[in-house]
Structure 1
Amino acid sequence: MENAFQVDLRGVVDLLSRHLYSSPRVYVRELLQNAADAITARRAEEPGAEARVQIRVGDGEVEVRDTGIGLTEDEVHTLLATIGRSSKRDELGFARHEFLGQFGIGLLSGFLVADEIQVETRSAKGGPAVLWTGRSDGRYQVTKTERDEPGTTVTLRARQDAGEWVTARTVTELAELYGSLLPIDVTVNGRRTTLEALPWAERHATPDARRDALLDHGERLFGFRPLDLVDLHVKEAGLTGVAFILPSPANPAVRGAHRVYLKRMLLTERADGLLPDWAFFARCVVDAAELRPTASREALYEDDLLDHTREELGRALRLWLVRLAETDPDGLRDFLRLHHLGVKALALHDDDMLRLVDRWLEFETSAGPMTLAQFRTRHPGGRYTASVDEFRQLAAVSGAQGVGLVNGGYVYDSEILQRLARIDPDARLEPLDPADLATHLGPVDPREELAARPFLEAAAKALDPLGCEVVLRDFDPASLPALYLTSRAAEHHAELREARDAGDELWADVLGALERTMAADRPRLVLNHRNPLVRRVTGLPELSLAATAVQALYGMALLHGHHPLRPADSAALNRSFLGLLDWAVGGEERG
């Protein structure tokens, strides 16, 4: 035995209000949507039919009157009283894409603010006018009524707890918000709420006049004066619109809130995912005919068409950047100062953007800010560091030795530097191995190095337990007494040793065996003989004091280079500090 489902209308309305719609305000949108669809249906039959929606608000009541196709009595029973039926668009025999609605829920949204809805309608196909009265408890009735012209009037009286949603001010604001771009005449208490045309489709005397008008429009919508604008077109999605460029830096982690219309009805003011993630510097206003909304009609449905649309909009922004580089270099520099992160992100997988970054975007270098193209011209053998700390430690030394250095430690920079060879094999920049920098540091005079040999032997003995060698060099800047340099292989060796010491017996044996297969490559403490303090330390007659001083210089070099301190390093730094303090106090007593 088969039985039909019983539908609790109050439960359905509660479901809509709590889980589908974000706010009761959507009832205005749904009523406008139904009216616009009815007008579209009538114009399909009568192209010259009037397109008008009149909204009257007063005394807690909202009345929406349209000049649409209307309904017959049979259609009223079929379409207004059957929850879950596809929609009147299919019943009337028109293709779904011609209409705004997709889910046939529209009229039920009225129960978000009212317990009773009246629909007075007369079909343009002929037949008498009828009055449908539906109540939130699931009951409805249909009676004959008098109505001269085809069309529909929907009337609802708000419940006491929903009075704020049916004031003239609120309904006017919502009608302007949702329906300002509708291609029909919409009024609220006689006040027109629709524009003559899409703002980006309006005709202007000059391109500059159009640009100024659109910038004004963007400022009204988003609250900022855009830096620039980009026209958007995606044929497959039936999409047109404008992207406005933010005039201030944007947070890449915050997804942009775009204003999206579907068939000129506002879908949402806060759409995300419309643009690629890297295009966080733009805010869009678009109207699309073919993109699909979610069930709540407050977001876009993720499908292949939306993916394609996202790619095409990203392509439009990329082409705008390329044109800006060709026609307005100063404008491009202004843009890059604000939104370099987005361009860098795009350059990771787009060669045109990589060329733009190479030519126009300034990077931090040992010779000051400059573009990568300029840097390669001035420093053919230049290098880059993969961390900001390493750059800060080595930039002055590297620059003084004539080795250009780029700071690749910021977001995306190292990846961009590694990709340069894609656009020009000669543009390749290699990462700097700090150990290689020692080969560029000048040797000490042989006589002075010979005189310092006892000191160097004592220093080597002091730092040997710390796994570090000591060398004496002569280099600029003279203000830097010591430099801690370690190769990539030495860093890996140290990490392996730490893992071995922290692991259990089995892993210690495995890592120990692996460590023995690696070539010994120890970090170096490079003492700068050009520094006055180092010269005094190398000349100390008391070698034990010299060893303590070297340990202090070792600790200072680690701290200056932002290197991590191992327990042994911290202990050596403490010993040297206390030893030098004890020597200083003892020196006063001796005096």
Structure 2
Amino acid sequence: MPTETFEFQVEARQLLQLMIHSIYSNRDVFLRELVSNASDALDKLRIAALRDDTLGADVSDLHIEIAADPEARTLTVRDNGIGMSYDEVAELIGTIANSGTAKLLKELREAQDAAGAEGLIGQFGVGFYASFMVADEVTLVTRRAGESGGTRWTSRGEGTYTLERLDEDAPQGTSVTLHLKPADPEDQLPDYTADFKLREIVKRYSDFITWPIRLASAAEGDAEPLNSMKALWARSREEVSDDEYHELYKHISHDWRDPLETVRLQAEGTFEYQALLFLPSHAPHDLFTRDHRRGVQLYVKRVFIMDDCEALLPSYLRFVKGVVDAADLSLNVSREILQQDRQIQRMNRRLAKKVLATVKDMMTSAPDKYATFWREFGAALKEGLVTDPENRDAILAASTFPSTHHDSEPTTLKDYVERMKDGQSDIYYMCGDSRQSIENSPHMEAFRAKGVEVLLLTDPVDEVWVEAVGEYDGRPLRSVAKGDIDLGDEEGDGADAEREKRNEEYAALLGWMTEQLGDDVKEVRLSSRLTVSPACVVSDAHDITPALENMYRAMGQEVPPTKRILELNPGHVLVKGLKQAFDEREDRTGLAESAELLHGLAVLAEGGQPKDPARFVRLMADRLERAL
């Protein structure tokens, strides 16, 4: 059959050049990636053969073989796995057709160190291209199980590649042959045809692979086993080092950094399974996107079933990586069947409880690790307060929140309750875009003046979970920006009488302003939460907040606009002046503009925007002009 020549996709060509010409501190990762791809191919063939008796594939000796030829300067990694068809080769290797390509290129260019660049290779699933870091030319020969013809792909990584259909009976599986660059100690390029180097790399990166990895020896005509093949999750804790756990994590997650924590679980009884889970040390860039892939793999008796098994952990733990190996599941399962399987649901609950218990233990046993975990994954974990009522108490116990008690150290709800002032019945919080914006909010003035602690919640999910949870330890969670706040008064028994008198004095003004601003506010009333600012806007106790309104609208849900309450500070000079002018004037045209300006200032103070910004600016400019 004729050989066809194609050009790489523009992004693929740019990626190849970056990888070929960039300097990596450890180029050994190319072999790790090729062995990982081969292992995946063997997993897929085993499952395909179990599900399809007519496939006709030989599964009697599934393995990975590495063969080096020092004279020819070639290194070959071959497997007898699932293989690829001609179209699959063209699609999977000739192009990089995914939306992350542009971001990958940008991050590779900006990577400040070699380790970072290595991590990006694996993270985006283009490990095959790592071969060009050590090879001048790469040849791939493959035949898909069940098909008769094979495919040859060849490229020098210089912008083009060739594809050729093979009529002869190519071996089942995939063989990748690297025509290696000359070994160069000055360039830190080892001799990858040396047996000792290949043993070293396989032992370091791929000892946990469950398929045999053999080093072919031309002289002796046999193959030397290189890996132990014993799954780490099947060994006792004493048999496995932290380095081995970390390498398994890196293989599963394609992350170049060590995990933050390792979680082991072995369940025995009517339903047996083993789990080896990892808490990463940093959040992936797509953690909060709809297409984020979950990292837990499902095995049955060490037979790979599926990657990214969503049924094994709740969505708020989607950042957890690892392996779950069950003893009693059917091999012929689908994602839909797993969602309904009672045993899987029980595994989901137990694994979630184990992860949450591990996070809680980190608070005291490893506070630095916990601080990293919460910074990276706290927002995702808090989603469970809404979606997983069964584990709500466990999630709250493993959660911490910034508060006015300390500038840098967050607090647990338990500690907050222990510090509550005598007579305080509510746990106070405020949601906002940042700690600074919350602390500068007018709503915080009375709490700051009286030394009442307030939780400072800045994640978008906070607006939702505080409404869903409602209370902790029998104490209501209460927003300082909703409802009427009464923090008590230091003036003694005459305080109630004083407030009543003041309300009577302002009753006429408040009623008039409520009428004037009726299109925008539900009510105008005097405030007990303001000590410095002239006014603020608050939501009624059971009304939806503006932030939640915006969130629902962003999700395409129609939400009727909610009128809010304007609160005035009777001790502020502007409010006193407005009352005096109201009491003395019959013509209140100018006063109506003052009321409108006061409302606009209150909206701006909480980070909102007046309904008609241009009119607000014009009125403000007119007032400033008259004042000058």
- In structure 2, C-alpha distance between the alignment counterparts of 1:454 and 1:344, rounded to whole Å: 46
Partner in structure 2 of residue 229 of structure 1: 262
Closer, same or farther: CA 217–357 of 1 in aligned 2, 3 Å:
closer
> Residue 427 of structure 1 corresponds to which residue in structure 2?
475
Q: Give 1 or 2: higher helix fraction.
A: 1
For residues 237 and 449 of structure 1, what CA distance do their matches in structure 2 show? Answer: 68
Give, as a single letter, the amino acid of the residue that structure 1 aligns with 2:232.
P
Q: What is the correspondence of 1:392-431 to structure 2 with a 5 Å cutoff?
A: 392=441, 394-400=443-449, 405-406=454-455, 410-411=460-461, 414-415=464-465, 419=469, 424=473, 426-430=474-478
CA distance in 2, matches of 1:181, 1:370: 43
* Structure-2-length-normalised TM-score: 0.52
Q: Secondary structure at the match of 1:552?
A: helix
Q: Partner letter of residue 553 of structure 1?
A: L
User: How far did residue 243 of structure 1 move?
Assistant: 1.0
Q: Is the 8 A contact 1:475 1:529 kept in 2?
A: no
- Which residue number in structure 1 is paired with residue 241 of structure 2? 210
Letter in 2 for 1:194: N
Aligned-pair CA distance for 1:483: 2.0
AA of the residue aligned to 2:598? L
Query: Greater Rg, structure 1 or structure 2?
Result: 1
Aligned partners of 1:229, 1:329: CA distance in 2, in Å?
16
Change (3 A) 1:270 1:386: same
Over the matched positions of the two proteins, sequence identity in percent amounts to: 15
Give the direction of change, closer, same or farther, for the CA distance of 1:563–1:191 in structure 2 (3 Å limit): same
Q: Paired residue for 2:313?
A: 275
What's the TM-score once normalised by structure 1's chain length?
0.54
CA contact (8 A) 1:386 1:414 kept: no
- Matched with 1:381 is 425
The residue type paired with residue 534 of structure 2 is P
Contact 1:27–1:112 (CA<8 Å) still a contact in 2? no
Q: Residue 282 of structure 1: CA displacement?
A: 1.5
| Matched residue, 2:597 | 552
Matching residue's letter, 2:400: E
Distance 1:26 1:112, change over 3 A: farther
Matched with 1:98 is: none
Superposition map of 1:156-195 within 5 A? 156-157=169-170, 165=176, 181-182=209-210, 186-189=214-217, 190-195=223-228
Alignment correspondent of 1:7? none
In the aligned structure 1, how far is the partner of 2:335 from the partner of 2:526?
Answer: 69
Secondary structure of the 1:108 match is coil
How many angstroms apart in 1 are the aligned matches of 2:523 and 2:598?
Answer: 13
Contact 1:245/1:282 (<8 A) preserved:
yes
SS at match of 2:246: helix
- SS of the residue corresponding to residue 242 of structure 1 reads strand
Q: 1:418·1:429 contact (CA, 8 Å) conserved in 2?
A: no
2:244 counterpart letter in structure 1: A
Q: CA deviation at 1:416?
A: 5.5
Deviation at 1:311, TM superposition (A): 3.9
Q: Output the aligned Cα RMSD.
A: 5.9
Note the C-alpha offset of 1:337. Answer: 3.3
In the TM superposition, residue 245 of structure 1 has moved relative to its aligned partner by 1.0
d(CA) in 1 for partners of 2:336 and 2:565? Answer: 59
SS in 2 for 1:487: coil
Give, in angstroms, the shift of residue 246 of structure 1: 0.5
Distance 1:460 1:53 in 2: 79
1:379-420: CA deviation from partner (whole Å, max 9, x where unpaired): 532255685489755233444466655456741565457547
Distance between the aligned counterparts of 2:43 and 2:415, measured in 1? 56
CA distance in 2, matches of 1:280, 1:429: 27
**In 2, are the aligned partners of 1:30 and 1:109 still within 8 Å (CA)?**
no
Give the aligned partner of residue 354 of structure 2. 316
Matched, 1:336 2:374: yes
Shift of 1:433: 7.7
SS at match of 2:594: helix
1:292/1:383 CA distance change after superposition, 3 Å: same
User: Within 2, Cα distance between the matches of 1:447 and 1:287?
Assistant: 72
CA drift at 1:556: 1.8
Instruction: Give 1:545 shift.
Output: 3.6
Q: Give the counterpart letter for 1:429 in structure 2.
A: L
Aligned position for 1:516: none
Q: Could you say what secondary structure the match of 1:285 adopts? A: strand
Flag the 1:36–1:260 CA change in 2: closer, same or farther, 3 A: farther
Matches within 5 A, 1:506-521: none
The equivalent of 2:484 in structure 1 is 436
* CA displacement at 1:340 relative to structure 2: 1.9
Contact map agreement 1:228 1:245 (CA 8 A) in 2: yes
In 2, the alpha carbon distance for the partners of 1:464 and 1:64 equals 76
Q: For residues 476-509 of structure 1, what are the alpha-carbon distances to aligned partners after superposition, in whole Å with 9 as ceiling and x for unaligned?
A: 431x1112345357889xxxxxxxxxxxxxxxxx
For 2:595, the aligned partner's letter is V
Once residues 241 and 400 of structure 2 are traced to their aligned partners in structure 1, the CA distance between those partners, rounded to angstroms, is 33
Distance in 2 between residues matched to 1:445 and 1:407, nearest whole Å: 29
User: Is the alpha carbon distance of 1:482 and 1:342 closer, same or farther for their aligned partners in structure 2, counting shifts above 3 Å?
Assistant: closer
1:203 to 1:268, Cα distance in 2 relative to 1, 3 A = same
Describe the shift of the 1:106–1:531 C-alpha distance in structure 2 as closer, same or farther (beyond 3 A).
same
Q: Alignment partner of 1:429: what SS? A: strand
Q: Pick from 517, 537, 545: which aligns with 1:484?
A: 537
- SS of the residue aligned with 1:278? helix
Task: Name the CA shift for 1:558/1:229 in 2 (closer, same or farther; >3 Å).
Answer: same
Alignment partner of 1:558: what SS? helix
Q: Does 1:531 align with 2:588?
A: no
Distance in structure 2 (CA, Å) of the matches to 1:582 and 1:354: 54
Gap change, CA 1:555 and 1:358, over 3 Å in 2? same
- Structure 2 portions without partners, runs of 5+: 1-36, 50-56, 81-142, 153-165, 181-191, 193-197, 218-222, 490-494, 546-559
User: CA separation in 2, counterparts of 1:179 and 1:267?
Assistant: 20
Is residue 198 from structure 1 mapped to residue 231 from structure 2 by the alignment? yes
- Asked whether the 8 Å contact 1:418–1:428 carries over to 2, the reply is no
Could you list the runs of 5+ residues in structure 1 that have no partner in the other structure?
Answer: 1-22, 41-51, 67-104, 115-135, 138-154, 493-510, 512-520
